[in-house]
Structure 1
Amino acid sequence: MPTVRFVTSGKSIEVDRDANLLRASIRYEGAVPYKCGGGLCGTCKVFVVEGRDTLSKVMKKEIDRLGQERIEQGFRLACQTFVAGDVTIAWGEEARQRSNDAAQVG
């Protein structure tokens, strides 16, 4: 079973393969913020710290809401993302800091 690590909330959970990232957060109290759950509001934007290649392909709603540049930086909408392997995510200030750190390294 894949492990999802929520850096911002400090939680780590095991999920079924192909579990939706936002639903898993809600069910196991991972604390990813959300409002609509349908890819419209962008509230569930997360930064993928590790495991980008273990996630489902980027959906059109993510491109529309986040833009290609943010997606290339490692951001995803949790409500549109499904987990196939281990992944580590962050959001809010933690995501901003980690994406800045990644940009400086790259």
Structure 2
Amino acid sequence: MPSVTLQTSGKTIEVANDTNLLRMSIRYEGSVPYKCGGGLCGTCRVRIVEGNESVSKVMKKEIDRLGQDKIDQGYRLACQTFVTGDVTIAWGEEDLERLNKIAQRRINAAQ
């Protein structure tokens, strides 16, 4: 059975072959953010950290929502991605980076 490591939430879950990343996250409380679950909103964007060869091919909805540049950087929509082997995913790094920069500016301004 493939295993999915959810780097951001710190969980590793064994799943059946061809398991959908978003449904797996919902079922096992993996914390991948989402709103629609159908490839329309883009909120379930994750980055494939390891195992890009172990996920389904990129769908047209993903290119439409994320753009080819993000796809090339390893981003996928969890609702459109199926697991065929061991995978490590992460999400939210850009938000954390932005928040850290804001926090650092506030710290520097207070000094």
Give the TM-score taking structure 1 as reference length. 0.88
Q: Residues 1-106 of structure 1: matches in 2 within 5 Å? A: 1-93=1-93
- Matched letter for residue 78 of structure 2: A
Q: Is the 8 A contact 1:39 1:62 kept in 2?
A: yes
Structure 2 gaps, min length 5: 98-111
For the pair shown, which has the larger CA radius of gyration, 1 or 2? 2
Mapped to 1, the partners of 2:67 and 2:94 lie a distance apart of: 20
CA offsets per residue over residues 22-65 of structure 1, 9 Å max, x none?
00000011110000000000000001100001000000000000
Give the TM-score taking structure 2 as reference length. 0.84
Mapped to 2, the partners of 1:93 and 1:52 lie a distance apart of: 18
Structure 1 gaps, min length 5: 98-106
Let me know the Cα RMSD of the aligned residues.
1.5
Mapped to 2, the partners of 1:47 and 1:95 lie a distance apart of: 13
SS in 2 for 1:31: coil
Mapped to 2, the partners of 1:53 and 1:3 lie a distance apart of: 14
- Matched letter for residue 63 of structure 1: I
Q: Report deviation, 1:93.
A: 2.2
Mapped to 1, the partners of 2:95 and 2:49 lie a distance apart of: 8
SS in 2 for 1:24: helix
